[in-house]
Amino acid sequence: MSNESTHLKRGLKNRHIQLIAMGGAIGTGLFLGSADVIKSAGPSIILGYAIGGLIAFLIMRQLGEMIVEEPVAGSFSHFAYKYWGKFPGFLAGWNYWILYILVAMSELTAAAKYVNFWWPHIPAWTTVLVFFVAITAINLANVKFYGESEFWLSIIKVTAIIAMIIFGLYLIFTADPSAGFGFSNLWSHGGFFPHGFEGLFLMLAFLMFAFGGIELIGMAAAEAKDPEKTIPKAINQIIPRILIFYIGSIAILLSLVPWDQFTGGSLDKSPFVMVFSLIGIAWAANLVNFIILTAALSVYNSGMYANSRMLYGLAEQGNAPKVFKQVNKQGVPIPAVLFSALLIFGCVLLNYFVPEDALGHLIYIVVGALVLNWAMISLTHLKFKQAMKKTGQVSKFPALWSPVSNILVLVFIAMVLGIMWKVGFKESVLMIPIWIVLMFGLYKMLNKNMPQ
């Protein structure tokens, strides 16, 4: 390990930042997890993604305001540490690190299921091991290599979703009426809210899982060239992305095949693959399955990147062992990458011992950590605004409608916790205060041995 530098290098170009932001927002939550939501909410899932997208955008504008002022490693953990206190910084950083360990494991598990679409006899743990080794190798290379890999993985899925939307529109407008394609499918099978508003309301917690990953821009800020220009541009494009990729694709999907025909939908089956199978286009189902596989690998790739950079940022604060501050000549925090990879390797074991239940368990845990993560971003932003006001500084990229937007976000998060409790996510909700207490105990223990 070289000691020539203990700093990350700004090797990510504008196109990398744009696609990292896009890649983080398009993954398992849309492609795989939406099957259960469609069954429960029907076409109103479209409205659900619009609501979730608005909340996610408000959170990103709050994070974006802080990032543009200080594009540093550790992102919101750094801000919580600086503007709120040592323990909030510690909690924000380690919660995010654990969150992305779980996200990486979820995406790896999902990738194995996509491979099983073609080769059902291949054990899930074998597929997981192969992808684990490949993505770890990418993250051990310099940041430009990571940026390029994520750029092309994201290009594949973005291009594919646009092509899928265009192809769907072609079928809707040109197919024989007897085929049953049409926008009327969105309201003619029990209405837009077939299970009432409650059907959608109870799915909001699970639906929010789809938006986990948009904060990846924050992790990339310390290695972005010209962050004052690239970060605002990436964040402001989140809303049109959500409109096109989430709302557009789901609307086309449910116009081709009515929502109530997704009787086989489950966490194990993608509605995007199912819809092409149902309308008899086998080659399209194979193509879509390939695209979804690249989407899962893209989010996993970004998750491992985010983990290592957060661990590096925590080490800079003194909230993680100093060894994680070490970088090689290319500016890659090798110890941080390897330690994160070691934990993610647990996914191989999980898929070996409980392959049937692995994805369901992981997604439930991830939602709890994600909720805490977003709450801390919004609360930290309030502290940041207070500090800016005291010093009379003017933000370069002010958040929308703050502090009203912060209150809206926090009320929405409280509502999501209530929904989680009602629909069977009680363990996830209960784990949040237990997790905070455990983190506080760990913080106190480490605080005796680490300089702050």
Say what the pLDDT of residue 300 is.
85
* Full DSSP string of 94-154: HHHHHHHHHHHHHHHHHHHHHHHHH-TTS-HHHHHHHHHHHHHHHHHS-HHHHHHHHHHHH
Say what the pLDDT of residue 386 is.
95
- pLDDT (tens digit, 0 to 9) for every residue of the chain, 452 residues total? 334 445 677 777 777 777 776 666 676 667 666 777 888 899 999 999 899 889 989 999 999 999 999 888 667 788 999 999 999 999 999 988 888 888 788 778 888 888 988 999 998 889 989 999 999 999 998 788 888 888 888 888 788 888 888 888 998 998 888 888 899 999 999 999 999 999 999 888 878 777 777 777 777 777 777 888 888 888 888 778 777 888 998 999 899 888 888 754 443 466 777 777 777 777 877 887 888 888 888 888 888 888 888 898 888 888 888 899 899 888 889 999 999 998 888 877 776 776 666 556 666 667 778 889 899 999 999 999 999 999 999 999 999 999 999 999 999 999 999 988 888 778 788 888 988 999 999 999 887 755 44
Q: What is the pLDDT of residues 322-365, one digit of tens each?
A: 899 899 888 889 999 999 998 888 877 776 776 666 556 666 66
Say what the pLDDT of residue 384 is.
96
Say what the pLDDT of residue 283 is.
80
Q: List 224's β-bridge partners, or say none.
A: 12
Rounded CA separation 283/291 (Å): 13
Q: What is the pLDDT of residues 27-57, one digit of tens each?
A: 666 766 677 788 889 999 999 989 988 998 9
Say what the pLDDT of residue 87 is.
94
Rounded CA separation 222/72 (Å): 4
Say what the pLDDT of residue 361 is.
61
Say what the pLDDT of residue 28 is.
60
Say what the pLDDT of residue 410 is.
97
Say what the pLDDT of residue 24 is.
66
Rounded CA separation 261/381 (Å): 44
Looking at the chain, the whole-number percentage of residues with pLDDT higher than 70 is: 89
Say what the pLDDT of residue 452 is.
45
Say what the pLDDT of residue 390 is.
93
Rounded CA separation 340/93 (Å): 13
Q: Please give the span between the terminal C-alpha atoms of the chain, in angstroms, as a whole number.
A: 24
Domains by residue range for the chain, with CATH: 14-444 (1.20.1740.10)
- ω into 333 cis (within 30 of 0): no
